[in-house]
């Protein structure tokens, strides 16, 4: 079974992908079914009928019940079986006949699934405060045959640009990586990118890098379990939600966030940004697909260097979070993605 960090909200679908019809998809290594009740609320279950294992996603919705296509068992939004045609309206339904359901939220144009123990109260969704209001966005969706760790690390790697993106965003040949200055904790990783042309200059000291980071927004910001922000300018951001499909496949929801409001221009702008982002991402894809082992948790033999600091922090925290199955509900409720109270400040 695929290993993923527990006790997290995972973005799993864009809202627009889920209509009224049951939708069967693979996420986090499990077959899941999503559907909406008449009030528009989304629901999620394991896509396996507790009766004889048929896929509920090939069923239909009847009066706010999800109906199995095999023998017509009906399940409500929390998976309780409400009707078994073969035993009649008066038949007694065992409590054990239940379609496992998952807590779910719908916000910021995504459907989020809670993976883990049900806490008394849930932590807030891992989303960037800066994106919460006033933006337009366009999305590009793509799937790569890679483990999510390699997909995420690729977007935290600040040294590959002059090589992988030689013809695009790496054309300036800024191969010399100062730092990068990184702040990281179990909520996320912030990276201040300061790359330049190698002219034999002395790299700035950690203290100098920290000082300049103090007055600037990080260039890259990642939040566990898998959302990422590239700070292109105060009014333009790229965002990726990395959605684990299974151990061999990751789905990317790549959004450009902007402020272009005039409908036709907006469409054109999003189309052009989409084409360019897809092109750049394909440059990454060619190399990331070749990385072995597929799951970076198994890559103990790899020798990371100073410029890989964001990647090494990701590995360290990812491993720690994977092991924290017993993260207490109390801890979970105190997570605050906008604060870095226990930041591990990098200083070497
Ligand atoms: S398998 Fe679903 S009702 Fe029988
Ligand atoms: Fe890249």
CA distance 126 to 142: 21
Q: What is the mean pLDDT of residues 75-79?
A: 98
Cα-to-centroid distance, 34 and ligand 2 (Å): 32
From residue 69, how far is each of 23, 66, 288, 320 by CA, in Å? 14, 9, 41, 42
Q: Quick one: which of 222, 243, 192 has its CA closest to 4? A: 243
Structure tokens at 262: 């005039």
**pTM check: above 0.75:** yes
Instruction: Decide: 58 in ligand 1 pocket, CB within 6 A.
Output: no
Convert the pLDDT of each residue in 154-199 to its tens digit. 999 999 999 999 999 999 989 999 989 999 999 999 999 989 999 9
- Token pair 């849930």 is found at 122
From residue 12, how far is each of 16, 112, 223, 243 by CA, in Å? 12, 6, 15, 6
Would the pLDDT of 204 be above 80?
yes
Instruction: Decide: 70 in ligand 1 pocket, CB within 6 A.
Output: yes
pLDDT of residue 337: 32
Residue 149: DSSP 8-state? H
How crowded is residue 279: how many other Cβ atoms within 10 Å of its Cβ? 12
CA distance 202 to 38: 64
Structure tokens at 276: 């360019």
Q: What is the mean pLDDT of residues 225-230?
A: 98
pLDDT of residue 1: 82
Instruction: Decide: 52 in ligand 1 pocket, CB within 6 A.
Output: yes
Instruction: Decide: 51 in ligand 1 pocket, CB within 6 A.
Output: yes
Higher pLDDT, 338 or 84: 84
Residue 202: DSSP 8-state? P
CA distance 103 to 348: 41
Instruction: Decide: 68 in ligand 1 pocket, CB within 6 A.
Output: yes
32-36 CB contacts, 8 Å cutoff, 24+ apart:
32/102, 32/113, 33/57, 33/66, 34/111, 35/61, 35/66, 36/61
Confidence of residue 140 (pLDDT cuts 50, 70, 90): very high
Pocket test for ligand 1, best of 52, 56, 57 (most atoms within 8 A of CB): 52
Higher pLDDT, 345 or 36: 36
Confidence of residue 336 (pLDDT cuts 50, 70, 90): very low
Which ligand ends up closest to the CA of 57? 1
Would the pLDDT of 347 be above 60?
no
CA distance 273 to 151: 20
Within its chain, how far is the Cα of 86 from the centroid? 42
Domains detected in the chain: 8-115 (2.102.10.10), 129-334 (3.90.380.10)
CA distance 126 to 11: 9
Let me know: does 309 contact 179? Beta carbons within 8 Å. Answer: yes
Q: Quick one: which of 242, 218, 233, 197 has its CA closest to 310? A: 218
Ligand 1 closest atom vs CA 49: 2
Cα-to-centroid distance, 286 and ligand 1 (Å): 43
pLDDT of residue 325: 61
Instruction: Decide: 71 in ligand 1 pocket, CB within 6 A.
Output: yes
Which ligand ends up closest to the CA of 50? 1
Q: Quick one: which of 179, 155, 194 has its CA closest to 288? A: 155
CA distance 22 to 34: 6
Local structure of 176: helix, strand or coil:
strand
Local structure of 217: helix, strand or coil:
coil
Q: What is the mean pLDDT of residues 112-119?
A: 96
Q: Quick one: which of 35, 96, 87, 99 has its CA closest to 63? A: 35
Cα-to-centroid distance, 284 and ligand 2 (Å): 5
Convert the pLDDT of each residue in 51-76 to its tens digit. 999 999 999 999 999 999 999 999 99
Q: Quick one: which of 223, 246, 241, 239 has its CA closest to 4? A: 246
Would the pLDDT of 215 be above 90?
yes
Ligand 1 closest atom vs CA 56: 2
Nearest C-alpha to atom 3 of ligand 1 is from which residue?
Answer: 71
Convert the pLDDT of each residue in 117-129 to its tens digit. 999 999 999 999 9
CA distance 344 to 236: 28
Ligand 1 closest atom vs CA 54: 1
Nearest C-alpha to atom 1 of ligand 1 is from which residue?
Answer: 52
Which ligand ends up closest to the CA of 164? 2
């Amino acid at each position: 079974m695929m290993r993923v960090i527990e006790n997290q909200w995972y973005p799993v679908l864009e809202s627009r992908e889920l209509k009224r019809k049951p939708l069967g998809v693979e996420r986090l290594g499990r077959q899941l079914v999503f559907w909406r009740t008449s009030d528009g609320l989304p629901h999620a279950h394991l896509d396996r009928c507790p009766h004889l294992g048929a896929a509920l996603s090939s069923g239909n919705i009847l009066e706010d019940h999800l109906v199995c296509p095999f023998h017509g068992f009906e399940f409500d939004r929390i998976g309780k079986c409400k009707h078994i045609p073969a035993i009649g309206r008066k038949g007694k339904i065992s409590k054990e006949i239940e379609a496992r359901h998952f807590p779910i939220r719908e916000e910021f144009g995504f459907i989020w699934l809670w993976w883990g123990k049900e806490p008394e109260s849930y932590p807030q969704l891992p989303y960037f405060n800066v994106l919460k209001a006033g933006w337009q966005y366009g999305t590009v969706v793509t799937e790569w045959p890679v483990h999510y760790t390699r997909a995420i690390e690729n977007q935290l790697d600040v040294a590959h640009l002059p090589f992988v993106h030689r013809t695009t965003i790496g054309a300036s040949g800024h191969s010399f990586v100062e730092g990068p200055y990184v702040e990281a904790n179990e909520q996320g990783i912030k990276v201040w990118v300061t790359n330049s042309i190698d002219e034999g200059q002395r790299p700035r000291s950690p203290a100098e890098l920290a000082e300049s980071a103090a007055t600037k927004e990080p260039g890259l910001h990642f939040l566990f379990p898998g959302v990422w922000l590239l700070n292109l300018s105060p009014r333009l951001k790229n965002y990726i939600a990395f959605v684990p499909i299974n151990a061999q496949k990751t789905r990317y929801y790549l959004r450009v966030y902007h402020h272009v409001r005039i409908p036709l221009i907006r469409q054109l702008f999003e189309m052009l940004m989409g084409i360019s982002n897809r092109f750049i991402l394909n440059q990454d894809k060619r190399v990331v697909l070749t990385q072995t082992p597929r799951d970076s948790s198994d890559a103990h033999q790899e020798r990371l260097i100073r410029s890989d600091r964001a990647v090494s922090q990701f590995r360290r925290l990812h491993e720690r979070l994977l092991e924290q199955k017993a993260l207490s509900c109390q801890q979970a409720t105190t997570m605050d993605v906008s604060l870095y109270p226990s930041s591990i400040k990098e200083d070497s």
